[in-house]
Structure 1
Amino acid sequence: MISLNDIEKACGRIEGQVKRTPVLSSQLLNKWLGHDVFFKAECLQKIGAFKARGGCNTISWLIETGQKPKRIVANSSGNHAQAIAWAANRYHIPATIYMPDYSSKVKIEATKSYGAEVVLCETRDLADAKVKKASEEEGTYWIPPFNHEQVIAGQGTAMYEALQDVPKIDAVFAPCGGGGLVSGTLVATKGMSPKSKVFGVEPLNANDAAESLRKNSIQRLASKPKTLADGVMTMAVGDITFEHLKHLDGMYEITEDRIVYWTQWLTHLLKLHLEPTSAMTMEGVFQWLKTQKSKKRIMMVLTGGNIDNATQKAIWEDDFLIETPRL
């Protein structure tokens, strides 16, 4: 498992290369809920997502340790693809990204625009197989989307910053796909604020992490999950991230209607462009706050803001703003 020291080193590597994103809140939402909820706005990060942190830190670490590769390969359905393409371009290293062909068109085109070669595959499993084979070529380094110590350390810098800016937090929430962000969030939080609770949040339709924790072994989804939260459509968590996930205080599983509900409401209240994966986390916060008897201070990560037209239409097909969010 990584340590707080790993995250602190990552902060030093990426300083000046990624943004120190703001922590925001909504007075109206806090009034309605009776609690203080803070949002680390990684949707305003480079490439529009927190993934820039892990990608930048990993490549910087490779160079720092004398391992600069001739080529970088990665597998991703979206934001990690953009992050590696962007970070590799900064360090003048050619990159090839293997993506399932159902990935967001916006994310596919953005990855290409950062200079990477994009190879589209029929399934996520095929993309994973192709990147593994490509990584065996001499001079090639594979940066996976979550199951890598330096990727996790880089992602953890988001919460490290957030807790510096807003101390005395009772609970922290982050979305869980492969587990890289929530693992880094866990290490940063427990290292800086040991009494704070840390929760993961994932779609009920893609709940491999929750199933893995229940069965105490990594469980793999049988097929591509049907969820609007495309940022957490991984088929299974990694062996490295799973060891971190075991130390979480809980994992919330969110239905699709609640993912849409909070995407609409947080977009409206915060005036930000938010992916459903980001907003999904708020339902975990909402469910936890229902069980609390005293006023709490919550921090959650808004992971990204890259949405294609089809997803936008699905989000706004029905009007959920007629139902005010109250506990």
Structure 2
Amino acid sequence: MQLPTFDDVLLAAQRISSHVHRTPLLNSSLLDSWLGHKVYFKVEALQRIGAFKLRGAINVLAWLEENGALPQHIVANSSGNHAQAVAYAASLFNIPATIYTTKTVSRVKAAATLYYGAQLAQFDTRNEADAAVATAAQQPGTMWIPPFNHPQIIAGQGTAALEALQDLKQVDGVFAPVGGGGLMAGTLLASRGLCPTAQVIGAEPLVANDAANSLREGRIVALPGPADTLADGAATPAVGDLTFPFLQQLDDFYEVEEAQIAYWTQWLQHLLKIHVEPTSAMVMAAVVSWLQEQEKPSTALVILSGGNIDQTRMQQIWQTDYLNQPPILVD
């Protein structure tokens, strides 16, 4: 497969415009005053299915329809948000779908996947689920829509940053979380196309740092086993061979500790008054570290990737109350 380009992101935006929300940009004047900089949030938590993943899933199926190649059955593997996205997109095109995932998948994400009409096949480990979906994809008339490693997935995910940069015009830094790298790759394409002077920066959990290890070694390095992180959307075993070349073009990359993930989840929910997934909130640790290095007031764009949190995860996030420690930038 060829790597996608900025033109592919533009085409994806045209394909999906009637099926997705143009999500809002939010900011917090209080947060801005504390930090001494401006931070804007592209709120994909308010997207249909509550996450950016819908953009890529719909773009793949709309692209297939353009080419007269819609399948008879769709399969996908996912930790949750991609599952909902594929289930929803498949229902739009009247195609049955089966999602392969783990038994530890977020219950709220699993319930939504079933509600949208897909079947759910659950396994003990992510590797077992990935192996099962690869086998299922060999059946005639079946297409596997991967969660990140597909040109049209990357292009579709890039439309979130595209919209935000069309609205903001100029920013100094663009930030997104990294799981498999699809959102980050699409964000890089959109940023280089619309705002080439902006730095583009990724973040992932320190305990699930396969992307950081891959960047250090110059090759794709997988996690040794399942990652126990609050940021479940970034617990992907390894980045893809299509997404990795884009990650190698990033201007910086941060690894975030679990306490920081919980801290920023609490504060963004408090400041923005919306549900924010830990995977989204994690990026703020990178933003603050980056802002400390800036010599003048700067503007950051954060792709707030999703807002689907179940009760168990919420209890983990709030085990310690961090709201008595305001996020004031320390020089």
Asked if TM exceeds 0.5, the reply is yes
Cross-structure match for 2:227: 225
| Unaligned runs of at least 5 residues, structure 2 | none
Which digits, 9 at most, give the CA deviation of each residue in 1:260-297, with x for residues without a partner? 00000000000011110110011100110111110001
For residues 94 and 66 of structure 1, what CA distance do their matches in structure 2 show? 17
Cross-structure match for 1:326: 328
Cross-structure match for 1:210: 212
Q: Residue 15 of structure 2 aligns to which amino acid in structure 1?
A: R
Q: Residue 304 of structure 2 aligns to which amino acid in structure 1?
A: L
Q: Residue 65 of structure 2 aligns to which amino acid in structure 1?
A: I
For residues 89 and 325 of structure 2, what CA distance do their matches in structure 1 show? 41
Matched, 1:277 2:279: yes
For residues 273 and 106 of structure 2, what CA distance do their matches in structure 1 show? 22
For residues 318 and 194 of structure 1, what CA distance do their matches in structure 2 show? 40
Q: Secondary structure at the match of 1:77?
A: coil
Q: Secondary structure at the match of 1:6?
A: helix
Cross-structure match for 2:72: 70
Cross-structure match for 1:298: 300
Cross-structure match for 2:30: 28
Query: How far has the Cα of 1:26 moved from its partner?
Result: 0.3
Q: Secondary structure at the match of 1:19?
A: coil
For residues 3 and 145 of structure 1, what CA distance do their matches in structure 2 show? 18
Matched, 1:85 2:71: no
Q: Residue 269 of structure 1 aligns to which amino acid in structure 2?
A: L
Cross-structure match for 2:318: 316
Equivalent residue for 1:190, pick from 177, 182, 192: 192
Query: How far has the Cα of 1:250 moved from its partner?
Result: 1.2
For residues 228 and 314 of structure 2, what CA distance do their matches in structure 1 show? 16
Cross-structure match for 1:139: 141
Cα RMSD of the aligned pairs, angstroms, is 0.6
TM-score (norm. length: structure 2): 0.98
Q: Which runs of 4+ in 1 moved over 3 A?
A: none
Q: Secondary structure at the match of 2:143?
A: strand
For residues 196 and 21 of structure 1, what CA distance do their matches in structure 2 show? 21
Cross-structure match for 1:199: 201
For residues 71 and 320 of structure 1, what CA distance do their matches in structure 2 show? 46
Q: Residue 37 of structure 1 aligns to which amino acid in structure 2?
A: V
Alignment of 1:35-114 (within 5 A): 35-114=37-116
Cross-structure match for 2:175: 173
Query: How far has the Cα of 1:243 moved from its partner?
Result: 1.0
For residues 306 and 194 of structure 1, what CA distance do their matches in structure 2 show? 32
Cross-structure match for 1:238: 240
Query: How far has the Cα of 1:109 moved from its partner?
Result: 1.1
Q: Residue 174 of structure 1 aligns to which amino acid in structure 2?
A: A
Which digits, 9 at most, give the CA deviation of each residue in 1:1-60, with x for residues without a partner? 211100000001001100000011000000000000000000000100000100010111
Cross-structure match for 1:156: 158
| Unaligned runs of at least 5 residues, structure 1 | none
Q: Residue 235 of structure 1 aligns to which amino acid in structure 2?
A: P
Cross-structure match for 1:259: 261
For residues 303 and 195 of structure 2, what CA distance do their matches in structure 1 show? 16
Q: Residue 180 of structure 1 aligns to which amino acid in structure 2?
A: G
Q: How many residue pairs end up in the alignment?
A: 327
For residues 185 and 71 of structure 1, what CA distance do their matches in structure 2 show? 29
TM-score (norm. length: structure 1): 0.99
Q: Secondary structure at the match of 2:282?
A: helix
Q: Secondary structure at the match of 2:243?
A: helix
Which digits, 9 at most, give the CA deviation of each residue in 1:120-140, with x for residues without a partner? 011100111011111111100
